[in-house]
């Protein structure tokens, strides 16, 4: 019995060690540094910033929403609070006018005046409970746009299927839940979007379908030019490849192609435009993307944080900012979201290691 207990303890310790952040394995461009902001955030997903500096983090299977505070100002969260629990896949968090909005599959919830009640958080109120209940692509990244509306995606409830305009789209609504309307169609599952500061246009990542081989189709980086635009799913993938089942009789020219192909199965999730002053000037206006990593590819892809450099709406470079979350086909981390801070550093969430990292830059 003692040997069995010791064996189980050893196994648990080994699993814990595998899941722990292994920052020494990460590579980044010269002058960049990465440190643990907090390693106490199980299933860390989307990140949102409060007006008073609180870092809010949604989770996936943990069913919790966290509030991280750095009271010492040393770049590390010294306090981690659970401000909501028992929720269904509360991946998305968005902050506006003192309130924190949370996605929970079929519902959008709000925690009122949250930064003044971190130790005694309010009961989440329902803002809108009319979204689909399917959990397949049912978790939601959410964000407020320049128009003051909350943008909420509705993923396809499948790998590949045609559900008309009820799924595979991006919607938006007023902060009180009213005025829900469709914004974009043909979007299989976006788990990251942001607005370009200069143009105010919506850019978003989209995950390509599975079971078309290792190298098809690519994940997409898209730009919305007008309301009602259709980006192809399930008929056309990556702007140039008809679906073997649903593409019959369709033409890829009838749909908006991606601005850039990010690679097959990289699982591009959270993305933000970088407007800070800490990173080199070449990063100003770039898009930083968390690539969660493939799950069904014979050789892993993704598992990194990428920078997309732009000239207007044209991609000039697509290069790693953080790489090394997997070695020899074994992953210890999976980036899920990125969030620039006011000082120009960038937070990165990792739902596998249950951590949030802070990326900084110092001129070599």
The overall pTM is greater than 0.75: yes
Nearest by Cα to 152 from 193, 118, 113, 186: 193
d(CA 103, CA 80): 20
The residue-averaged pLDDT of 11-28 equals 66
Terminal Cα-to-Cα distance of the chain (whole angstroms) = 56
- What phi and psi values does residue 148 have, to the nearest 5 degrees? 80, 5
d(CA 28, CA 305): 10
Strand, coil or helix: 272: strand
CATH numbers and ranges of domains, the chain: 22-361 (2.120.10.30)
Non-local (6+) Cβ contacts of 258 within 8 A are: 206, 218, 220, 221, 222, 231, 238, 239
The residue-averaged pLDDT of 170-183 equals 98
d(CA 349, CA 36): 10
pLDDT of residue 100: 98
In the numeric block, the tokens 């991609």 are attached to: 315
List the structure tokens of 179. 């005025």
d(CA 269, CA 293): 9
* Burial class of residue 80 in the structure, from the number of CB atoms within 10 Å of its CB (0-12 exposed, 13-18 middle, 19+ buried): middle
pLDDT of residue 6: 35
pLDDT tens, residue by residue, 132-152: 999 999 999 999 999 999 999
Question: How many residues appear in the chain?
Answer: 364
d(CA 195, CA 336): 18
Alpha-carbon separation of residue 288 from 63, 70, 193, 219, 262 (angstroms): 26, 23, 11, 15, 12
The residue-averaged pLDDT of 123-128 equals 98
Nearest by Cα to 140 from 226, 224, 59, 75: 59
Per-residue confidence at 16, pLDDT binned at 50, 70, 90?
very low
pLDDT of residue 19: 60
pLDDT of residue 57: 98
d(CA 153, CA 171): 6
Question: How many CB atoms sit inside 10 A of residue 134's CB?
Answer: 16
């Amino acid at each position: 019995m003692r040997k069995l207990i010791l064996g189980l303890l050893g196994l648990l310790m080994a699993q814990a060690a595998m899941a722990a952040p292994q920052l020494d394995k990460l590579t980044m461009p010269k002058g960049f540094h990465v440190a643990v902001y907090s390693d106490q955030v199980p299933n860390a997903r989307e990140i949102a910033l409060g007006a008073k500096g609180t870092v809010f983090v949604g989770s996936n299977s943990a069913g919790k929403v966290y509030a991280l505070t750095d009271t010492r100002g040393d770049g590390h969260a010294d306090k981690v609070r659970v401000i909501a629990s028992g929720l269904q896949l509360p991946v998305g968090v968005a902050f506006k006018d003192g309130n924190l909005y949370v996605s929970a599959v079929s519902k959008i919830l709000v925690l009122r005046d949250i930064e003044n009640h971190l130790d005694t958080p309010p009961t989440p109120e329902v803002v809108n409970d009319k979204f689909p209940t399917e959990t397949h692509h049912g978790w939601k990244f959410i964000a407020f746009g320049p128009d003051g509306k909350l943008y909420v995606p509705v993923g396809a409830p499948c790998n590949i299927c045609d559900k008309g305009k009820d799924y595979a789209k991006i919607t938006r609504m007023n902060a009180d839940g009213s005025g829900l309307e469709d914004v974009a169609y043909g979007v299989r599952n976006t788990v990251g979007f942001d607005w370009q500061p200069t143009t105010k246009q919506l850019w978003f990542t989209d995950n390509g379908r599975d079971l078309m081989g290792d190298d098809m189709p690519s994940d997409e980086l898209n730009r919305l030019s007008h309301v009602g635009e259709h980006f192809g799913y399930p008929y056309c993938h990556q702007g140039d490849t008809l679906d073997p089942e649903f593409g019959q009789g369709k033409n890829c020219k009838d749909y908006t192609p991606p601005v850039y192909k990010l690679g097959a199965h990289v699982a591009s999730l959270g993305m933000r435009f970088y407007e800070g002053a800490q990173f080199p000037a070449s990063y100003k206006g770039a898009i930083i993307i968390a690539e969660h990593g493939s799950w069904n590819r014979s050789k892993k892809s993704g598992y990194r944080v990428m920078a997309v450099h732009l000239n207007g709406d044209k991609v000039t470079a697509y290069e790693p900012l953080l790489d090394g979350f997997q070695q020899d086909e074994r992953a210890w981390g999976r980036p899920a979201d990125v969030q620039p801070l006011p000082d120009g550093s960038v937070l990165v969430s990792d739902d596998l290691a249950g951590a949030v990292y802070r990326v900084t830059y110092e001129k070599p």
